[in-house]
Structure 1
Amino acid sequence: DDFGAGYSSLASLRTFPADLLKLDGTLVRDVGRTDGGDDPMVRSLIQLAHSLNLIVCAEWVTTEDHVQRLKVLGCDLLQGNRIGEPISAEAFATKLRRVSAQPSQAID
């Protein structure tokens, strides 16, 4: 009842000082299923975010199917174990120094 009103008002998205919208993993986990999963909802959220000039980052990306489907749906950034396992800050700094001269692997 009253979806998008009150505390969950979608209109409030226009007033937030943000440049990125993160899609929760509960939406992402069923993207790309043969029955369509959450593709329509995720596609709509990505389109809405882009219309508000927001970058979209999907969480819980765990499979290559997720990667490929989210690219097709227009997602800008991916976060999850398929992209990289969690590591300590020290290990991250070491890895960053090692790969800083390599070309980016960002989504095109």
Structure 2
Amino acid sequence: MGNQELLEYFNTYAAVRARHSYGPHGHRGISVLIFEATAMGYLEAERLHKHFAEQGTDREAWERRRVLFYPGGKRQLYGYLANKEDMEIFNQHSQGE
């Protein structure tokens, strides 16, 4: 899923950018949606986090059971508000910012 596709998939939330994490072996299966650095941006990110929690596809589900595809091949997405440690892991193989 590319950046634009990810933004369009979550177009009911006010994300401003999407980024993917790549390592030595390609895509690491981790992507982030970036929101405005404002109170409204935080509220939108929190609203998306709540959506994933209500669906049972939040951080706890990701850590407990990583079902990546439904039968038939449809992708299962997980989501949660990232903390500093999450972003360090995300940026582990990134150069620059």
TM-score over 0.5 for the pair: no
Structure with a larger share of its residues in helix: 1
Structure with a larger share of its residues in strand: 2
Larger of the two Rg values belongs to structure:
1
Structure 1-normalised TM-score? 0.29
